Amino acid sequence: MANKKTRVTIHDIARELNVTASTVSRALQDHPRIGADTREAIKSLAVKYNYSRNMLASGLRTGRMNTIGVIVPRTNRHFFSNVIGGIESYVSEKGYQVLISQTQESYQKEVFSIKAMVDAHVDGIILSVSLETMDDAHLQLAIDHKIPVVMFDRVIGSGQINQVVLDDYNGAFNAVKHLLDLGCERIAHFGGPSHLNVYNDRLRGYMDALQSGNKPINPHWINNDVLTEDAGYAASETLFQSDNAPDAIFAASDYSALGALLWLKENGYKVPEEVCVMGFSNEPFTAFTTPSISTVEQPGGEMGRMAASLLIGQIESENSTFTPQKEVLKTHVIIRESSKFHLKQQ
């Protein structure tokens, strides 16, 4: 009977069958030099005793732990929790486990997390950088240890690392284009720190869409670092109490769009008749506000699976010639009540 106190090891099995541990190890890996009889005897005994390989010992010897590290700013953002779900469901089918760490948007914690992942001998790392992160120098530690890295959504650096991103530029472009089609002429933007690709791309999409519609770009209407509900609320107040108020807001975050919507409602502005509002990410609440908020879908589960797929491909690829890939997921604008129509529309 299997001993309950301590795990069954290959030595236990070896002893019982009068072979050595090396034979057991090879048999369990279907090594061709082990005879069929021996192999089957070992395997059935392994099943009988409910043997499971000690991953620490195996990992120590082989350097592979079948674990991937995931580093995100926060686990409880809807988007990131979706990504984590996608990663976990993909890699668990491939026999990998998921080690999680959150940076709380702190660069220092991100550095620490990477170090912790390297120490834990993960086979690969999937990462979305913090708001504070300015470059990818800290990833060198993982690269030095030959640990593949995939960045998603908030990516950064020189492009020597696999990336999975949304087509933020087109998402923003199409969103603003939609506002222009409604007749909006004075479209403000709530953005994020422009050293991050996602916010920079959304800003560029916004500006290019304005230009393509022959609308002037007013710096006064471009607000950076307006990503939270409070910031959106405050920025709206400033914006609409100036003598150059916009007639639409395109926010790079659903939260700041929500803040804008609340301020507008509280101050008697009609949405969408007088002011159209659009957000970004399709957070669940956007469907339920009054009016519901138009936004751009950001498919977290899909990004997670895609990132995991790229990573595992790189982990398991034999050839060491690595050319970084960049996967770009298509965007999809979701039109809701906050931009259904506009007074200026013909």
Q: Does 54 bind its own copies (CB under 8 A)?
A: yes
Stretch in the footprint of its own copies (CB under 8 A) among 95-103, 130-138, 221-229, 233-241: 95-103
The answer to whether 160 contacts its own copies (rule: CB under 8 A) is: no
What span, in angstroms and rounded, lies between the C-alpha atoms of 292 and 3? 60
Q: Which is nearer to its own copies, 102 or 223 (CB)?
A: 102
* Among candidate residues 171, 191, 161, 203, the one with its CA nearest the CA of residue 327: 161
Which of 15, 145, 220, 326 touches its own copies by CB under 8 A? 145
Determine the Cα–Cα distance for residues 269 and 267; give it in Å rounded to an integer.
6
93 near its own copies, judged by CB under 8 A: no
CA quadruple 233, 238, 243, 245: dihedral sign: negative
Residue 226 Cβ vs its own copies, minimum distance, rounded to whole Å: 20
Site for its own copies contains 82 (CB under 8 A): yes
Among 4, 36, 93, 268, binds DNA (CB under 7 A): 36
In a 3-state reduction of DSSP, which class is residue 223? strand
Say how far residue 208 (Cα) sits from the centre of its chain. 26
Q: Does 44 bind DNA (CB under 7 A)?
A: no
Residue from 21, 116, 222, 262 touching DNA (CB under 7 A): that is: 21
CA distances, 2 to each of 42, 47, 54, 156, 303 (Å) = 15, 11, 16, 51, 43
Please state, in angstroms and rounded to a whole number, the distance separating the CA atoms of residues 42 and 27: 7
CB-CB contact of 141 with 114 (8 Å): yes
The entry of DNA, its own copies, none that residue 23 binds, CB within 5 to 8 Å by partner kind: DNA
Binding of its own copies by 53 (CB under 8 A): yes
Distance (Å, whole) CA 77 – CA 21: 48
For the segment 246-265, give every residue that binds its own copies (CB under 8 A).
258
Q: Is the Cβ–Cβ distance between 193 and 225 less than 8 Å?
A: yes
Least Å distance between CB 19 and DNA?
A: 3
- Residues 204 to 243 in contact with DNA, rule: CB under 7 A: none
38, interface contact from its own copies, DNA, none, CB < 5-8 Å by kind: DNA
- 97's contact among DNA, its own copies, none, with CB below 5 to 8 A by partner kind, is its own copies
62: CB partners within 8 A, 6+ apart = none
Nearer to DNA, 25 or 223 (CB): 25
List the structure tokens of 334: 């979701």
CA gap 228, 44 in Å, rounded: 58
List residues near DNA by CB under 7 A: 6-7, 9-11, 18-23, 25-26, 28-29, 32-39, 51, 53-54, 57-58, 60-62
Binding site for its own copies (CB under 8 A): 4, 7, 52-57, 59-60, 65, 67, 70, 74-78, 80-82, 84-85, 88-89, 92, 97-102, 104, 115-116, 118-121, 144-145, 258, 283-285, 287-290, 300-301
